[in-house]
A and B are shown apart, each in its own frame.
Chain A
Amino acid sequence: MSGGNAGEANERNGGNAGEGSGGYGGNGIEVEGLVREFKKGPRAVDGIDLRVKPGEIYGFLGPNGAGKSTTVHMLTTLLPPTAGTARVAGHDIIKEGPAVRDAIGVALQEAALDPFLTAHEHMRLQAGMHGIPKAEARRRGERLIERVGLSEAADRKVGGYSGGMKRRLDLALALVHEPRILFLDEPTTGLDVQSRTALWDEVGRLASSHGVTVFLTTQYLEEADALADRVGIIDDGRIVAEGTPDVLKAEIGRPTVEAAPAEADALERMGAVLERFGQRSPAPQGSAAVRLDAGTGELAEVVRALDAAKIRVANLEIHAPTLDDVFLAKTGKHLEGSADSAAPPTGELEALPA
């Protein structure tokens, strides 16, 4: 039995390594003109092109209903595209489904687990479905369960797990066949801060020390910002912006200044002064805000101008641009879960919705 296993392992890995080594072959993702139309629904994905380099963490950021899950389903061979093509790990998602499935690990948005099975039993099931022999499955299962910190709960039925534990188990399950590319669909939605950072650490480690390519979808700017090497922003089935978080923010460029007058009746005058420095942008009750135009001066200049107008200032803040500003600039909308239009588009306020 053990001899057979070794040969098998060779065929599994060797078979993959040889193919598609050109371009992004090995561990990359190449997507061209991907479209998915649902019969009684919208054009959920409307012509997407993207490339993910081997070992990269790609963050797919967009509001609810943008088409993130539909894209993931197509790339993981769960859903055939209406048009377009994609190669995942060098294999065509339409013609070479089995080879793609061998190379990828997937944790879907709904971590469908069996409430009657324990973590160990899930491992056994998942490994078996990938065709991994039992002894090998047990070894890998132990290791992965320990790695995601579920050793103590590993013999309890999953029905009693918390949301965070289920996500961690789902991640561990996705890794059981040592995939080279990992798809995570909103892995931290609904998690508490602690579980979220733990998961970020784990994903970061997978990419940096194991060379796993990660395709991750999220509704949270903060997550894309913190985790992704590169971000694609998707809205209504189209990618509206793409690049590293820093470059994207730099494109939007200018920071926002927000100020509140000490006397409420001075608000209008204050707004007028601020408008000399840029375009008005939404602000909370009792404050005014502008996005500074390129070429205008620094915060000090704004202060001087307000002073000259004899407006006493109660509060003055400057906000660096966030990915929500990028989203706003490209789509005219805020991201889901971010502050509503009356509030300023600041990173702090958008983080961690309850």
Chain B
Amino acid sequence: MSALARTRFARAAWVIAWRQLHRMVIKPTTFLLPSVLMPIFFFVAFAGGLSAVGDAPNFDYPNYTTFQYVFVLMQSAVFGGVFAGFSVAADFESGFVRRMMVATQTRSAMIAGYAIAALGRAILVWVVVTVVALISGAEVSGGAGDLLSIAIIAVFLNIAALLFACGIAMRLRSLQAAPLIQLPAFLLIMTAPVYVPRDLIEGWVHTVSDVNPMTAMLEAGRELIIGDPARTLAAIAIAAGLIAVTVVWARTGLRRAEAAG
């Protein structure tokens, strides 16, 4: 890509992101509130309702609120991507994608635009969740480097989820994509160590969580936030690996959409 082409790509990606962010300001009840309220709700239900689980024998993580705070951070990273996928599907249905496809020189600028917007919203959600978590007693004792690592993991996860969702939306090109985006994301989240550390999980969820990529990120996040990192690099590598796979998935999805018109 020449310097000019890069500039044009960046401009296109930015205005596409701006459109998404703009509607969050214009109509926050539809485009912003659900993605803020959902993680808050999960945080309240899990950190509040299940806090006794932190007292179970062999539960060796120091603070259940912190334990769930990290879960909700990662969960909102994933669901930020999922919600953005719904927007892509809706734009296919309304025909808006055609406007973008015929106006952008390099069409992957569309994906980049949605990704920027999804990240912007996720950051806002993370800020709100963090404030709520700190107020309700989450403990953050990791250093700046640890917190930066958490941020990197969460951002990577958010981008991977968005690329996955885009890939589905671009293959189905209608809102029928919504359950097909949501279900795998939900399965991924729920079969990770959500309520208790992995060694306290019994039965099949334990087996699944061993191979679930979400597990590494959740566990690394929970270690980092209390300043006791052990498996950070592995988690970042797995998150980067997810991006590498989902980039291909999204790009081939874009090719399919282009071929179908």
Contact = CB atoms under 8 A, between A and B. Distances in A.
Among B8, B23, B100, the one with the most A-chain Cβ atoms within 10 Å of its Cβ is B8
Nearest to B10: A131
Nearest to A76: B102
For the residues of B in contact with A, the DSSP-based class is helix
A106 interface: yes
A160 interface: no
B29 interface: no
Contacts of B7: 8, 131
Interface stretch (B11-19, B123-131, B160-168, B209-217): B11-19
Interface string A1-28: 0000000100100000000000000000
Nearest to B99: A112
Interface string A137-173: 0000000000000000000000000000000000001
Interface string A108-119: 101010101100
Contact of B105 (A80, A101, A114): A101
Interface in A109-133: 110, 112, 114, 116-117, 121, 124-133
Nearest to A104: B102
Contacts of B258: 80
A319 interface: no
Nearest to B31: A116
A101 B103 contact: yes
Interface stretch (B66-74, B90-98, B218-226): B90-98
Contacts, number: 83
Among B8, B103, B258, the one with the most A-chain Cβ atoms within 10 Å of its Cβ is B103
A226 interface: no
A121 B18 CA distance: 10
B96 A129 contact: no
B11 A133 contact: yes
A121 B26 CA distance: 12
A44 B141 CA distance: 65
A101 B12 contact: no
A79 interface: yes
Given A128-B11, A129-B15, A132-B11, A116 B100 contact: no
A98 B105 contact: yes
B105 A116 contact: no
A230 to B, nearest CB: 24
Interface string B244-261: 000000000000001111
A101 B102 contact: yes
B15 A8 contact: no
B95 A117 contact: no
B174 interface: no
B259 A78 contact: no
B104 interface: yes
Contact of A129 (B4, B27, B95, B100): B100
A110 B103 CA distance: 16
B95 A125 contact: no
Interface string B13-47: 01110110011001100000000000000000000
B101 interface: yes
Nearest to B27: A116
Interface string A315-336: 0000000000000000000000
28 contacts: A8-B4, A8-B7, A73-B261, A77-B101, A77-B102, A78-B101, A79-B260, A80-B259, A80-B261, A98-B105, A98-B106, A101-B103, A104-B102, A106-B102, A108-B95, A108-B99, A112-B94, A112-B98, A114-B19, A114-B96, A116-B26, A117-B22, A125-B15, A125-B16, A129-B109, A130-B104, A131-B9, A131-B11
Interface of A: 8, 11, 70, 73, 76-80, 98, 101-102, 104, 106, 108, 110, 112, 114, 116-117, 121, 124-133, 173
Given A101-B105, A114-B19, 12 more contacts: A11-B4, A77-B101, A110-B95, A112-B98, A116-B23, A117-B19, A117-B22, A121-B22, A129-B104, A129-B109, A130-B104, A131-B12
Interface of B: 4, 7-9, 11-12, 14-16, 18-19, 22-23, 26-27, 94-96, 98-106, 109, 258-261
